[in-house]
Chain A
Amino acid sequence: SQKIEQNSEALNIQEGKTATLTCNYTNYSPAYLQWYRQDPGRGPVFLLLIRENEKEKRKERLKVTFDTTLKQSLFHITASQPADSATYLCALDQGNDYKLSFGAGTTVTVRA
């Protein structure tokens, strides 16, 4: 089965800086890779999806890259704000239509 590794340590950054999170996977490359945000005590919320044939995807201050050779996705939060503080989860398919495998997440704290 797919193994997913995200930054093992929490990320603490200064407001205005760019946060970069990594998601590495083993085995086969997924057709889709997704990023979710999870706040304490809440369910995950979908942020971005990138397809295997896409190198980069942007949404407002968020940018996701997908390198199938490195088996890695990078998630960037530019011009970070304290409101961006949350845990970010990487998720990818298991080779079928619907099951998503999730990483353990990276907790980001943005200091004002």
Chain B
Amino acid sequence: GAGVSQSPSNKVTEKGKDVELRCDPISGHTALYWYRQSLGQGLEFLIYFQGNSAPDKSGLPSDRFSAERTGGSVSTLTIQRTQQEDSAVYLCASSLVGTPGNTIYFGEGSWLTVV
């Protein structure tokens, strides 16, 4: 597609339930990033995928969070046993390659509310 596509755009879930957020990066982009943005806060790095290399998971806040990228394209971020503090906007981004100076293109985000 023309841009980074994320789904769902909005998700309300009950505490304790699992959620899956999907990201479809720009075609041909080998680097894919997940960030989280809480109200009034800066973007928090979660995870990074580059081609077939092992992902950098250093930003994942707990073991309830996981992500995978299938076939070097679509990525899914999974949050298990959701907590209220998980409520945030989850932003996916992609870039042509993961090198300094590369423009990162963001999707519109998935707004997650845990009630």
**Interchain CA distance A102-B43 in the complex, whole Å:** 5
Q: Which A residues are in CB contact (< 8 Å) with B31?
A: 98
Query: Is A24 part of the binding interface, using a Cβ–Cβ cutoff of 8 Å?
Result: no
Are B45 and A43 within 8 A (Cβ)?
no
The contact of A103 among B42, B93, B101, B107, by CB within 8 Å, is B42
The contact of B91 among A43, A91, A93, by CB within 8 Å, is A43
Min CB–CB distance A50 → chain B (angstroms):
10
Known contacts A43-B106, A43-B107, A101 near B100 by CB under 8 Å: no
Q: Which A residues are in CB contact (< 8 Å) with B45?
A: 99-101
Q: Which B residues are in CB contact (< 8 Å) with A100?
A: 43, 45, 104
The contact of A32 among B33, B35, B48, B101, by CB within 8 Å, is B101
Min CB–CB distance B22 → chain A (angstroms):
15
Determine chain A's interface SS by DSSP, over half rule: strand
The contact of B106 among A4, A44, A93, A99, by CB within 8 Å, is A44
The contact of A44 among B43, B56, B95, by CB within 8 Å, is B43
Min CB–CB distance B91 → chain A (angstroms):
6
Count of B interface residues, CB-CB < 8 Å? 27
**Interchain CA distance A45-B108 in the complex, whole Å:** 10
Interface string of B16-53 (1 = CB under 8 A from A): 00000000000000010101000011110100101000
**Interchain CA distance A99-B102 in the complex, whole Å:** 11
**Interchain CA distance A25-B100 in the complex, whole Å:** 18
Interface string of A30-55 (1 = CB under 8 A from B): 01100010000111111001010000
Q: Which A residues are in CB contact (< 8 Å) with B48?
A: 98-99
Q: Which A residues are in CB contact (< 8 Å) with B109?
A: 42-43
Q: Which A residues are in CB contact (< 8 Å) with B59?
A: 99
Are A43 and B4 within 8 A (Cβ)?
yes
Query: Is B99 part of the binding interface, using a Cβ–Cβ cutoff of 8 Å?
Result: yes
Are B103 and A46 within 8 A (Cβ)?
yes
Known contacts A98-B50, A99-B45, A104 near B40 by CB under 8 Å: yes
- Give me the 5 closest cross-chain CB pairs, A-B, nearest first: A43-B106, A102-B43, A98-B98, A102-B42, A104-B42
